[in-house]
Amino acid sequence: MMLISTAYHKLENAVLEHLKPLGVSRVRHAGYYLCFRATSHLWQHLPTVTLHFAEENARLVLTPQRLFIAVGHDICLAVHSSLDITIIGAMQQVDTRFVYDVIAGRIYFAPENACHADLGGHI
């Protein structure tokens, strides 16, 4: 996923603040901006992040499995900074239903399993 730099830095600072009480060690990895030494304790305390789309009044909830990846013995934020564009990647879209209401000009998000249940198991 890519976020415009102002949004990325807010996310990075929020993640750092969230993990500060755990005393985790920040490490460097080529291609990633924010990585930590992996522990089972850290995996259990990674944050869930919600992207808010003000114009559509929509929210996309991203669990730690959609935001972080294992890189060797470390955990890295799978989000990069961009100067002028935000892109929601495939990793963030997994098991999420994106519904575009073209007439109303709105977008909605729902967990795929909830959509499957709403349709009686028939998609």
Q: Note down pLDDT in tens along the chain; length 123 residues.
A: 999 999 999 999 999 999 999 999 899 999 999 999 998 899 999 999 998 887 667 888 999 999 999 999 999 999 999 999 988 888 888 888 888 889 988 888 888 875 555 555 444
- The per-residue pLDDT for 95 is 87
- pLDDT of the residue at 67: 96
Integer Cα distance of 4 and 72 in angstroms:
27
Beta bridge partners of 116: none
Please give the mean pLDDT across all residues of the chain. 88
The single-letter code of the amino acid at 101 is D
Q: What residue segments make up the domains of the chain, in order of their start? A: 2-118
Q: What is the pLDDT of residue 87?
A: 87
pLDDT at 72: 94
| C-alpha closest to that of 66 among 50, 42, 84 | 50
Asked if 46 contacts 94 with a C-beta cutoff of 8 angstroms, the reply is no
Class of domain 2-118: mainly beta
Return d(Cα 109, Cα 44) in angstroms, integer.
Answer: 25
**What pLDDT score was predicted for residue 107?**
84
Give the global pTM.
Answer: 0.81
Q: How far is C-alpha 43 from the chain's CA centre?
A: 15
Q: Which helix (H) or strand (E) holds 77?
A: strand 74-77
Query: What integer pLDDT is reported at residue 117 of this predicted model?
Result: 53
